[in-house]
Amino acid sequence: MKNFICITLFFLSMYYFIKFFIWYLGDEKMIIENAMALAMYGSLPLFIMIFLTHIFFYPKNNDDHAKVISFPPMIMLFSANLAFFIGAINRYQLQIYEFPKYFDFLRSPSIGLLLIFLAITIISIAIKQFKIIDEDPMPTSASQNLIEGNIYQWTRNPMYLGLLIFQIGLGIALKFIHITLFAILTFFIFDYYVIRREERYLEGKFKDKYSIYKNKVRRWL
């Protein structure tokens, strides 16, 4: 039932987001109130889904994990959705500010799609390393092995790097600058409330082995 609720909310949100961006990226005109309504119908169910996913599925009775603030994909979704929510309210209701023209380089569907493809590739390669050793890639699960090979010899956090690139690419592809700029928020949440907690957990679990790896490979790039 919990899965059904979260999945239903997610697809409901995506349905309205798709309707909104078909209009937003196209030439059809729409009454501003209708555009605002579509934006909220997309954004609000996604906020609820993110909140419920954390409440329903974040482990509460297991101490053998990094105790990160939440699931990293949900953090990225929250940041991107918050960016969209703020951008939509400003554009269709408050109209407090407007981005200068020199931000227009962040509106390019082709470049955005390339970044999304790159992000998915990086994340897929990283997840594959966990699947090879039959381990859960989520930091909310226990770590039994320290992965040091393949993409992990270039960055200690390829999945978080991939999620950042995905958010940047999504904003550029959708020509919605707020989403791209809010990748800065995602970066800081990842860095301070996910990665540093993981590092403390892994140092406690793998001792000198992790310390050597940490000194050898950068946190991001």
Q: Is 115 within 8 Å of 172 (Cβ atoms)?
A: yes
Interacting residues of 129 by C-beta distance below 8 A, sequence separation 6+: 147, 149, 150, 151, 152
Q: Report pLDDT for 173.
A: 98
Q: Where are the domains of the chain?
A: 101-216
**How many Cα atoms sit within 13 Å of 143 on the Cβ side?**
21
Q: Is 58 within 8 Å of 68 (Cβ atoms)?
A: no
Q: Report pLDDT for 62.
A: 80
Q: Report pLDDT for 60.
A: 85
What mean pLDDT comes out for the span 53-73?
93
Share of the chain above pLDDT 70, in %: 100
Q: Report pLDDT for 69.
A: 97
Q: Tell me the three state secondary structure of residue 138.
A: coil
CA 55, CA 61: separation in Å to the nearest integer?
13
Q: What six digits make up the tokens of 12?
A: 């409901």
> Which pTM value belongs to this model?
0.95
Helix or strand run (H / E) with residue 18: helix 2-24
Q: pLDDT tens digits, residue range 107-157?
A: 999 999 999 999 999 999 999 999 999 999 999 999 999 999 999 999 999
CA 186, CA 179: separation in Å to the nearest integer?
10
Helix or strand run (H / E) with residue 109: helix 109-132
What mean pLDDT comes out for the span 153-182?
98
The residue to which tokens 């699960």 are assigned = 141
Q: Report pLDDT for 13.
A: 99
Q: What six digits make up the tokens of 166?
A: 């995905």
Per-residue pLDDT band for 105 (boundaries 50, 70, 90) equals very high
CA 125, CA 150: separation in Å to the nearest integer?
8
Q: What six digits make up the tokens of 26?
A: 């196209």
Task: Work out the angle between the directed axes of helices 158-173 and 183-190 (0-180°, nearest 10).
Answer: 170
